Amino acid sequence: MIGNRMSHRRWHANWIWSPSNLSHAGKIFGVDTMGTAEEHALLRRTFSLERVPAQAETRVVADSRYVLFVNGDEVSRGPVRGDLSKLHYDALDLAPYLRTGSNTIAIHARFYAVATPWWAPARPSIGLGRRGAAAFELDLGDGEWIGSDGSWRSLLGEAWRPLGRGGVSTVPKEDVDASKLPVGWERPGFDDSDWPSAVEINPLTIGGDARVTSPPSNPYGALRRRPIPQLEGDTRTPAVARAWRVEAAEPAEPPPLAAFADEKRPVLETLDVGAELPVTLEGDGTLLLRVDFGEIVSGLVGMEVTAPAGVEIELAVRETEAPPDSRVLDPTSDSTFRYRTRGHDDVFESYDPMGFRFALLAIRGASGPVTVRRFWVRERLYPVRPGPEFACSDPVLDRIYEVGKRSVAINAHDAYLDCPSREQRGWTGDAVVHQMVHLTTNADWGLARWHAEMSNSPRPDGMLPMAAGSDLEAMSVTIPEWPLHWIRSLWNLWRYTGDRDLIGRLLPGVENVLRWFLPYRGDHGLIRHVDQWVLIDWAALHLSDTSSCLNAQWARALLEFADMSEWLGDQGRAAWARGLHGEIREAFELFWDEARGSYVDHAVDGQAGRPMSQHAGATAIWAELVSEDRIERVLDAILDRTRLVRPTWAEIVGQHYLAMGPGEPNWDVENEIVAAQPFYRYVVHDAVASAGRAEEIPALCRDWKEFLDRGETSWPELWVGGTHCHGWGSTPTRDLVMHTLGIQPAEPGFAVARIAPRLGDLEWAHGAAPTPHGLIRVRVDRSRVEVESPAPVELDLAGHALERLEAGKHATSLG
């Protein structure tokens, strides 16, 4: 446990970096200010200990990222993503890694320079933010400190060549020349005598004091302690699929950044390789080795090879397999690293994580045999504490529950990712499903909390970005309903944790988001002509002018704000929100279609359109905009499978619809209803349950069986198309706990739990769900309900009066 000495104060350390070979354009007050290129810095400090302290409290931080080694062992990686004006450090106890005698601290720090999907640059001061910076302090006790300063040895990582990146779909990329990377530089005993001293960075800023050189420093703010644990996971290894020798490509500098570029090279030989590594490949030309991990994996990619010096090994990865007779992955594959061998000690692991199932190694320029001894993915995922579980009489639903957990797990890093393969962004709205899965299946709720805090990174107008801590944070456009899902995530935390401090701190951000919509209200009181990317879902929805879904989502968020405000004793703000909700409810009649028994997608110039979707009806029920006498009609309409279709605008007109607008419907808008894609099913299912029809949830969750039948091992982004590992498709995992077992909080923080099992067509189900007080266990069949709870319980059984039970074990017959 790290003590109070790790609280806010001046560090016993300076910001440092490696001496640069950049030609600086100029200086401000004697401080170098130019630094626009990606850089790697290798930093070392060796010291001696007569004894190892019982505790060795440590803080470490870097802009942009670091890897910390102690005596050759990797100890931590960080910092967590987020707004760099609120930079986080990692607090560690290094005592288990230290030893008497000589010790070596080593840091591999990386500065991205250009915003990435997982990092956004700080607004630089004079001294910091334009190049990389790292700081480290170690408290050895009795006033003895080891801090980063000019006594450290450093080397600019010239082994790495910067690679360009950009666009919505991008993955980590590295280009490494191992001949320029010293072997064992991070281990004790390495001779760093010819390395230059580290450069101490003066964090000069307007209004500052140039004599104060230690953190905290502008532009990083009051450095905050890491809010989540270090990531962890297993090392995964593949089975070898196939290998080929193809005609050599023409030399190029730089080489093509895609191993699949060899797909049109004539096959000279199909190589006979075994099912397991090591594999030795040889021959002129380009050698291709394709491997399959059996499921999508997410982590750091490594390899160990024996090869002559100067061999180029390029990696391309993909989620799905090309045709069985093809040696390539697919033209949509992307190169993720290129490695040039040094001829000995060729062991490499990527700096950043990747997500994929299939990998292709393209080996070029080999003057002799190349042996791939090991190839692995070291998964680094958010910890999942054991205990929560689910099982039922339907093995298909059991499998759906587990795949949903896995889908969230591979997207749970230092944020909830949309997918580990294509983007790795922490989208503000996507993550509400990930969070709900963690709240119902993981006893560690740290990431569930961190999502709400990290995403609270408002623009000057109070609105939240599409994806905080990323290259999209600075964009002028956002998805306006994504912050409304973020409000839902905070409401979830209110219900599950009952954390007054957390809710109180973040509730002003909620109000700012809600008030952002006010200028968009038309004469009828509904919001319209919102000049942002109104998405709702990837389904082919009509959203122009006045969107029923956007208005209903705003209405739902107003209710959630009112709930939390009342809980905190702010009746005034609660009344304001409920008043606005009442106005929306009255105006929402614009979208009602009496003949078809539900709500249409939009209105133009005050006239209701004709297209109708599950989204409109479900969101209206969810937002409490539907009168009691209509709820059953709406549900019957939007759940009528004979009327549901699944078009997407991307399928109909292509991705350019995002800029050019949707095309013409290819379905019967009068008689068919557009179905929700996997993400928005969480709203549909919540609407069904809130209307008292939770017994239908198991049948609705079986829609995911079509993915299992296609061989998916994690949930795709869409019913057809998109990535194959989107956490936002994991609603059934939450629902089988929340709605089928019926485990939910009745009062914030599970001061009282609500148990309302609804088996539907199942014969039995049992499981356990986390609470702040411990696990709640429920076992239910057609004749009996058993509950074991550490908190008082409201037992809500169909056909029975509500029963209040004390904490403990209880059994009730269902006769």
pLDDT at 1 over 50: no
d(CA 620, CA 796): 25
Angle, vertex CA 398, rays to CA 396 and CA 400, nearest 5:
70
Averaged pLDDT for residues 743-771: 98
Q: Does 806 score more than 90 pLDDT?
A: yes
Confidence of residue 410 (pLDDT cuts 50, 70, 90): very high
Angle between helices 681-690 and 628-638 (to 10 degrees): 140
Question: Using one digit for the tens of pLDDT, what is the confidence trace for 506-522?
Answer: 999 999 999 999 999 99
How would residue 332 be classed by pLDDT, with cut points 50, 70 and 90? very low
What are the tens digits of pLDDT across the range 104-141? 999 999 999 989 999 999 999 999 999 999 999 999 99
Biggest CA pair distance of the chain: 85
Neighbour tally for 234: CB within 10 Å: 12
CA-angle at 405, arms to 402 and 409, nearest 5°:
140
pLDDT of residue 766: 98
Residue 265 has pLDDT above 70, yes or no: no
Note the pTM of the prediction, 2 decimals: 0.95
Residue 468 CA to its chain's centroid (Å): 11
pLDDT band at 170 (very low <50, low <70, confident <90, very high): low
Exposure string for 388-399, b = 16+ CB within 10 A, e = fewer: bbbbbebeebee
Residue 200 predicted with pLDDT over 60 = yes
Which amino acid does the sequence have at 304? Answer: E
Q: What is the average pLDDT across 461-472?
A: 95
What one-character-per-residue DSSP string does 30-76 give? Answer: TEE----S-EEEEEEEEEEESS--S--EEEEEEESEEEEEETTEEEE
Mean pLDDT of the chain: 92
The one-letter amino acid code at 702 reads: R
Residue 164 has pLDDT above 80, yes or no: no
Q: How far is CA 650 from CA 244, 540, 727, in A?
A: 36, 8, 20
The mean pLDDT value for 57-65 works out to 97
User: Hey, is 287 helix, strand or coil?
Assistant: strand
Pick 732 or 34 by higher pLDDT: 732
- Long-range Cβ pairs for the range 602-611 (8 Å, 24+): 602/542, 602/543, 602/544, 602/545, 602/546, 602/547, 602/548, 603/545, 603/546, 603/548, 604/544, 604/545, 604/546, 605/545, 606/524, 609/542, 610/669, 610/670, 611/541, 611/542, 611/665, 611/669, 611/674
- Please report the pLDDT score of residue 253 as a whole number: 43
Q: Which of 290, 299, 340 is nearest to 317 (CA)?
A: 290
- Is the per-residue pLDDT at 333 higher than 70? no
Closest Cα partner for 427 from 505, 479, 493?
479
**Predicted pLDDT at 616:** 98
Tokens of 808: 């403990």
- State how beta strands 267-271 and 239-246 pair: antiparallel
Which pLDDT value is given to residue 258?
43
Q: Under a CB-based contact definition with an 8 Å cutoff, are residues 301 and 316 in contact?
A: no
* pLDDT value of residue 470: 94
Residue-level pLDDT at 322: 59
> Where residue 263 falls among pLDDT bands split at 50, 70, 90?
low
Q: Which two tokens stand for residue 727?
A: 């956490």
Burial (CB count <10 Å: 0-12, 13-18, 19+), residue 534: middle
Q: Which amino acid is at 226?
A: R
Q: Give the whole-number percent of the chain exceeding pLDDT 90.
A: 80
The rounded distance, in Å, linking the Cα atoms of 435 and 430 is: 9
Q: Specify the range with the lowest mean pLDDT, choosing from 263-267, 286-290, 709-713.
A: 263-267
Residue type, 373: R
Q: Which of 159-163, 233-237, 358-362, 710-714 has the lowest mean pLDDT?
A: 159-163
Query: Is residue 391 over pLDDT 60?
Result: yes
d(CA 704, CA 712): 10
Question: Does residue 584 surpass a pLDDT of 70?
Answer: yes
* CB-count exposure of residue 306 (10 Å: 0-12, 13-18, 19+): middle
pLDDT in tens, 626-637: 999 999 999 999
Q: What's the average model confidence in pLDDT over 219-226?
A: 95
- Predicted confidence at residue 346, as pLDDT, reads 98
For residue 546, which of 602, 501, 597 has the smallest C-alpha distance?
Answer: 602
* Two structure tokens written together for 73: 């062992």
